[in-house]
Structure 1
Amino acid sequence: MKKIFILLNILMLSSCSSTQFVDSWKNKELREFQPQKTLVIGVTQNLTARKIFEENLTKELVRRGLPAVEGLSVLEPSFINSEKTEEEINRMIEGLSDAGFDAVIVTALKGVEDKKNYNPDYYITNYRWTRFGRYYYRYQDIYYNPGYYNNYKVFHVETSIYKLQQTEGKSLVWVGAFNIVNPQTITSTLNDYIKAIIKKLEKDKVIPSVNEWNI
């Protein structure tokens, strides 16, 4: 009986690994977004994760006819690893503008939550009509087996698109909030997140789809 519960727990935990869309906002004053050169930045001190993310998101944008460049090829890793003054950031923006960049896509972790889930098999149909003895026998692992509960993390991630050299009220093009639930490997997690971003950007008509670009 315990083996069955443990197996169900493993399957449940594995199925939780995904990117979930939370909310998004699009600047309605900007009717079209056709940047000439976009910088893709992943705000993380994990260079491996940053490189994978920036490379793969850049490829997806280029596939849709949007010229894009990885942040690591332009900004030193140390720029992300330490806090910067407003003056330093403004100098960075001026440098990007001089290099021909007119847009930035930045992704950052906003927070992490520790969660605990339990096996939904507890709520079997018509369990309420089971006699007490049989109920207690079937579900006693819930109370006596610590492995019945699974701890996992939810990462709150946000991706924003800005136009450079715009007024404060017009610079933000789009922002989307996502939850990454129970991340597994770096590559699979980042690829799943990128798919979610691209799908939402296409749906919100911020970027063209591959089919639209090929027409």
Structure 2
Amino acid sequence: MRYFLWFLYVVLFTACSTARLVESHSPYRAEKPKIEKILVIGMTPLTEFRESFETRLQKEFKKHDVEAVTSISVLNGKLTPGENTEQQLNNLEKYLLEEGYNTVLLSKIVQVESHKDLRNSLYSLRGSYRSFKSDYYANQGIFQGDDINSDTKVYHTETSIYTLPENRQRELLWQGEIDLKNPKRVKRTIKQYVDLLISSLKWDGVLP
């Protein structure tokens, strides 16, 4: 019954939405680490999109008693978008631990396709990054690109939540992929994206 209700929700939600959940995954089979304080990073060169996304997600996390902080309010002066060394990211991680953060969320566009390419597309969770540092470092070029530039595309996005344990054994807490189809209106697209993201986190037991 539970799976049927989730399937029904996805069908009804995506029928009138530009956002569609492709899949999600958490390597934790048993009890998952609790998100206490999380840094939200939207990896996009579009400042308006990034700020709106991070702020809306921050508000949604707050509804679930999670302290969330936007990267725009934290990273200015600490990182230069697209131009950071591994040492700078090590310093950032140290700073985050000192400030009480135990998780980091990275959200980014990983692939863009036209409609005619979709039938030949193979799209699945990558899971190739072991930490938020390796993920951020490998994809920071996104900040200097133009990742939303047409209304005739399908944008494949990936959101990952990493833990920041001092004695790390496993850092990836959750990962999900959401497709955005023809994202024309920023506010509407972000609302649908964040709503679907939060619902997925609750379904997978990452949020209460």
TM-score by length of 2: 0.71
Could you tell me which residue of structure 2 aligns to residue 182 of structure 1? Answer: 182
CA distance in 2, matches of 1:95, 1:77: 13
Structure 1 residues 166, 153: CA separation in 2 closer, same or farther (over 3 Å shift)? farther
TM-score by length of 1: 0.68
Could you tell me which residue of structure 1 aligns to residue 76 of structure 2? Answer: 76
CA distance in 2, matches of 1:164, 1:70: 17
Residue 32 (1) aligns with residue 55 (2): no
Could you tell me which residue of structure 2 aligns to residue 12 of structure 1? Answer: none
CA distance in 2, matches of 1:166, 1:30: 20
Asked whether the 8 Å contact 2:112–2:155 carries over to 1, the reply is yes
CA drift of 1:101 comes to 0.9
| Aligned residue runs from structure 1 range 10-29, under 5 A | 18-28=18-28
CA drift of 1:17 comes to 5.3
**Please, which runs of 5 or more residues in structure 2 have no aligned partner?**
1-14, 118-150
Could you tell me which residue of structure 1 aligns to residue 113 of structure 2? Answer: 113
Matched to 1:21, the amino acid is: L
Structure 1 residues 30, 68: CA separation in 2 closer, same or farther (over 3 Å shift)? farther
Could you tell me which residue of structure 2 aligns to residue 50 of structure 1? Answer: 50
Asked whether the 8 Å contact 1:30–1:173 carries over to 2, the reply is no
Asked whether the 8 Å contact 1:45–1:80 carries over to 2, the reply is no
State, as a whole percentage, how many aligned pairs show the same letter: 32
Matched to 1:73, the amino acid is: S
Structure 1 residues 54, 26: CA separation in 2 closer, same or farther (over 3 Å shift)? same
Q: CA RMSD in A?
A: 2.3
CA distance in 2, matches of 1:17, 1:36: 30
Matched positions, count: 161
Residue 202 (1) aligns with residue 205 (2): no
- 3-state DSSP of counterpart to 1:23: strand
Q: Write the deviation string for residues 104-128 of structure 1: whole angstroms up to 9, x where unpaired.
A: 11101101112249xxxxxxxxxxx
Could you tell me which residue of structure 2 aligns to residue 64 of structure 1? Answer: 64
CA distance in 1, matches of 2:175, 2:77: 24
Asked whether the 8 Å contact 2:78–2:92 carries over to 1, the reply is no
CA distance in 1, matches of 2:76, 2:69: 14
CA distance in 2, matches of 1:183, 1:101: 32
CA distance in 2, matches of 1:52, 1:153: 21
Asked whether the 8 Å contact 2:32–2:173 carries over to 1, the reply is no
- 3-state DSSP of counterpart to 1:20: strand
Structure 1 residues 175, 31: CA separation in 2 closer, same or farther (over 3 Å shift)? same
Structure 1 residues 78, 19: CA separation in 2 closer, same or farther (over 3 Å shift)? farther
- 3-state DSSP of counterpart to 1:79: coil
- 3-state DSSP of counterpart to 2:69: strand
